[in-house]
Structure 1
Amino acid sequence: MIAGNMKILNLATLPKSLYDILSHPEFSLEKLQALPDGKYQPEGAKWFCNVGDSQTSPAETRHTEFHKNYLDIQLILEGEEIINYSLTNAIGQSAVEKKPDLYILNNPVLTNGILLRAGDFVTFYPGEPHQALCMVKAPATVRKAVFKVPKEII
Structure 2
Amino acid sequence: MIFGNINYDKTNSVLPEDIKKCFEYAKENNLLDFEKGSHVIDGDDFFVNIVGYDTTVKEERFWEAHRKYIDVHIMLSGEERIALNFIENLEQKEFQEEGDFLPLEGDAVNSEVVLRSGDFLVCYPEDAHMTALKAGEEKSSIKKAIFKVIIK
**Structure-1-length-normalised TM-score:** 0.84
**CA offset at residue 134 of structure 1?**
0.5
1:53 counterpart residue number: 52
Opposite residue 59 of structure 1, the aligned amino acid is: K
Matches for 1:4-153 after TM superposition, within 5 Å: 4-12=4-12, 13-24=14-25, 27-28=26-27, 31-43=30-42, 46-86=45-85, 88-90=86-88, 93-97=91-95, 99-136=98-135, 137-152=137-152
Aligned-residue sequence identity (percent) comes to: 26
**CA offset at residue 55 of structure 1?**
1.7
Query: Which runs of no fewer than 5 residues in structure 2 stay unpaired?
Result: none
Q: Decide whether the 8 Å contact of 1:66 with 1:103 is kept in 2.
A: yes
Q: Decide whether the 8 Å contact of 2:92 with 2:104 is kept in 1.
A: yes
- How many residue pairs align between the two structures? 149
**CA offset at residue 140 of structure 1?**
2.2
**Structure-2-length-normalised TM-score:** 0.85
Q: Decide whether the 8 Å contact of 1:90 with 1:128 is kept in 2.
A: no
CA distance in 2, matches of 1:64, 1:115: 16
Which deviates further from its counterpart, 75-84 or 39-48? Answer: 39-48
**CA offset at residue 93 of structure 1?**
4.1
Q: Decide whether the 8 Å contact of 2:81 with 2:113 is kept in 1.
A: yes
Structure 1 residues 29 and 109, CA, compared in 2 at 3 Å: closer, same or farther? farther
Alignment root-mean-square deviation, CA = 2.3
Q: 1:46-103: CA deviations, max 9, x gaps? A: 21001121121012321011111111011110000000101x2449943244553111
Structure 1 residues 10 and 23, CA, compared in 2 at 3 Å: closer, same or farther? farther
